[in-house]
A and B are shown apart, each in its own frame.
Chain A
């Protein structure tokens, strides 16, 4: 079993829809990261969080430490949001930079 599981693997939405991507993990963590990988391959860090909720524009990330679960929400989705979204965790007690990655969720937003 992977230490970081994402769902769904693939997601197709219509423009304007509210989108939720889920991430569950099985290890103790010091932080959880959400990354966005564009169709061209570039990777951008969206959020790093260790508790509660963070918001940036139309993106919202939440984490529940007790349940070992995080969600990434996109409000009013747009075709430019089409990308692969990757969840990664910093393993508590592990090396500072040792991120464990999920397999990613491929999002396609249709106009």
Chain B
């Protein structure tokens, strides 16, 4: 398995533009997580899905952020409109509940810079 795949790896955009980050979880995993990492706040959970259904989106900073998981193999995190303070590394992770070791597997991250 190729692991969790994220695209793009780097994104530079201007304030006000729409940004879409993409994630393909590990096949067969039933949980998908979106995290944001900044120097100031470290890693933070934004939202997570179980079987494609959003379970907890309390970490989503504001209405400019939205996430979808239309099927088991694809999820998007959208920021519209983007702001400079959204600059961060965004990680997607997946896991399989019920395995003896409920490990989360992280993607390589998307480094977002909003100018």
How far, in angstroms, from A96 to B91 measured CA to CA in the complex?
A: 18
Asked if A99 is at the interface of the complex by the 8 Å CB criterion, the answer is: yes
CB distance from B52 to the nearest CB of A (A): 14
Q: A84-99, CB under 8 A of B: which get 1 and which 0?
A: 0010100000011111
CB distance from B109 to the nearest CB of A (A): 5
How far, in angstroms, from A62 to B114 measured CA to CA in the complex?
A: 41
Interface residues of B, dominant DSSP: strand
Chain B interface (Cβ within 8 Å of chain A)? 31, 33, 42-45, 48, 50, 55-56, 89, 91, 93, 95, 97, 101-106, 108-109, 111
Chain B residues near A42 (CB, 8 Å)? 106, 108-109
Docked-complex contact A45 and B106, CB < 8 angstroms: yes
* Among all A-B residue pairs, the 4 with the closest Cβ atoms: A43-B106, A95-B56, A101-B43, A97-B48
Docked-complex contact B104 and A45, CB < 8 angstroms: yes
CB distance from A80 to the nearest CB of B (A): 19
Given A45-B103, A86-B43, A104-B42 in contact, is the A97-B56 Cβ separation under 8 Å? yes
Given A96-B55, A96-B97, A97-B95 in contact, is the A44-B42 Cβ separation under 8 Å? no
CB closest chain-B residue, reference A49: B101
Chain A residues near B44 (CB, 8 Å)? 101
